[in-house]
Amino acid sequence: MKNILSLIFLTAIVMTGCSTKERSENPFLNDTYDTPFEVPPFEKIKTSHYMPAYLQGIEEQKSEIRAIITNKQEPTFENTIKALEYSGKLMTRVSRVFGSLNSANTNDTLQQLNKELSPILSKHRDDISLNDTLFLRVKSVYENHEKFNLNDEEEKVLEDTYKNFIRSGAGLSAEDKNKLRKINEELSLLSVQFGQNLLAETNDFKLIIDKKEDLSGLPEGVIAQAAQTAKSFKMDGKWVFTIQYPIMEPFLKYSDKRELRQKLFTAYFMKGDNDNDRDNKKIIARIANLRVERSKLLGYNSYADFVLERNMAKTPDRVKEFLGQVWAAATPVAKAEAAAQQELINSEGGKFKLEPWDWWYYSDKIKKARYDLDDEITRPYFKIDNVMEGMFYVANQLYGLEFTKRTDIPKYHPDVNTFEVKRNGQHVGILLIDNYPRPSKRNGAWCGAFRGQSRDINEKMITPVVTMVTNSTPPAADKPSLLTAYEAETLFHEFGHALHQLLSNSTYPGVSGTSVPRDFVELPSQIMEHWVLEPEVLKVYARHYQTGEVIPAEIVEKLDKASKFNTGFVTVEYLAASLLDMEYHSLTEPVEFDIHKFEMAAMDKYGLIPEIKPRYRSTYFNHIWASGYASGYYAYMWSEILDADAFQAFKETGNIFNKEVAARFEKEILSKGGTRDPLEMYIAFRGKEPGIDALLINRGLK
């Protein structure tokens, strides 16, 4: 009741307009930020500023919508579509900051505020998309678009706007619109709760070691990091391992203590499935069924049909066919990998069957025996600062971008590094990079923007402020952050998303940067991964953190030979999660859920071997329950068809930095955002459609 009364009180304030004092004290309520490049002034933003700014933003956008629907003139692109596209400026400003910080630097107050805001924002979105008068104006412009002499981008904005209204329920009856509103509100709250439960579960578990013998097999750097983690929890003299992936993964890879590997893996695997107050099973069941109801209401057979209509894949059957092709190629490879590990276990006198918590340990042993290579050999050459220099070097060679570290620009956490991006001396944008795990940050890696690229209503360029977030291995007491090759790939991957934002050259915010179909958005990120281990690039950035020695040629050769190692496992665990996503979202009717039985049936259906678990189980599958990837987790693999083929465009010239190919990639893909059909963009770049062969070869499956 207290929260509701506070909202009513705040709404009353906003309805009467904010005073000059309130505007001066709340950074969001000023027209501009008084900071370099108008980066949000994080040190001045207080939690108490968000709600008034959101409520003021809602009222301002309502006023803008009223102006559109009460306009007596005939609907045109200018007075309807463009006016709608540029409405909600304050809403966008506050939501970009709140959303980013709630993911990367949250706290209890922000999480509670997120719960309070969720139904308010859901109602506001529905008030716009279900407004009959507004839709009729949009429909009129759409049906008479020939009259307006629109350019290609304007045609795409118009088409997207009209379809978004249809897909949001604009054509429903009043009764069905009311049903849709209730479903949308509940879904928004459930997604918030899922994410908060997952963060709490991740932060809750600690594997505490107080005996040195239990550290057997662990490298010195991993032990030092565990000691520092223990110290951060006021457990001096002990060693702590969490289920944050960069901390968990080396333990699973090196620990000789099988029972401890099992304990840590099980804690990770059971996140959100512990029958406590953070359990996610009922939330998942409810979300899945509500999505079915929502899809049926909108005229679709399933949620997957609804989502995929806007993606490159178009239909669930096409996605399943594609995943099935890769599954058929990868499963025999994974089985052979499992057999090799079991043979090693037997040869060492182990009288047990290979289990999922054994995979990292024994596959690493085989890798070391086969290639004389493991992560501890390469880590010293992958100091995180040097890896970032490497990705900046690649961007400079390809696109002429220059990155200068700035210390005068606001940042939301001390871990953040801030860079100004220029080309030919001209400002391009700002890039904030946040690399290390902490309790206030959710798992994974992502890229967003505090301000997206676009042009304002007067055609003035608005440059982007991009944020790139990872959970990389943190520095230890006596060592800097030293990455695995996989973590280096993750940095390059997110940097690819950042380049998509930085090099965007659109007019309208709704189609700029990464505003593209889900199964196309990973192309710019995944193509960047191809440069990470190229010898020509390694020589530039892979330098020993103590001696400065460039990574030896023999290690580069070993990296190349080992690049296809364990790809059966990596591919199958990813595909298993993708297929689980599709099984949930291909449902055509609500069902009574037993999450465990559903998962088991889905994996049995495709023949997942017991030694491998899906990369994400249902109860911690944040991508599909709280991050917009529902019916879309397959997109990483789909985009790999594109990125594997696209990188060949460079390789075929004999120059991985070919300026002509890079210019074409920027012109036809990076700069275009969502202004054109993605397949048309790809063909304009490559001259042909991609095939699956490049993907299979890239993964060593053919």
- Lookup: tokens for 630: 């529902």
Q: What is the DSSP letter of 543?
A: B
The secondary structure of residue 450, as a DSSP letter, is: E
Per the structure block, which two tokens stand in for 282?
């009922």
Can you tell me the distance from the alpha carbon of 687 to that of 660, in angstroms, rounded to the nearest whole number?
A: 14
Amino acid at the residue 400: G
Nearest to 520 by CA among 311, 326, 260: 311
**Catalytic one of 494, 583, 611, 666:** 494
- Can 402 be counted among the known catalytic residues? no
Q: Helices marked H in 233-315 — which ranges?
A: 245-254, 258-269, 281-297, 303-308
The CA distance from 390 to 26, in Å, is 39
* CA 338/CA 363 separation, integer angstroms: 9
Q: If residue 455 lies in a helix (H) or strand (E), which one and from where to where?
A: strand 454-455
Cα 170 to Cα 298: distance, rounded to the nearest angstrom = 9
> Rounded to an integer, what distance in angstroms lies between the CA atom of residue 652 and that of residue 156?
33
Residue 327, both tokens: 């599954």
Euclidean distance between CA atoms 276 and 232, whole angstroms: 26
CB 574 within 8 A of CB 630: no
Residues composing the chain: 702
Round to whole Å and give the CA distance between 370 and 558: 10
How many C-beta atoms lie closer than 10 Å to residue 599's C-beta? 21
Q: Residue with structure tokens 């002499």?
A: 149
Strand partners, 208: 240
What does the radius of gyration of the chain's CA atoms come to, in whole angstroms? 26
At 419, is the secondary structure helix, strand, or coil?
A: strand
* Residues classed as catalytic: 494
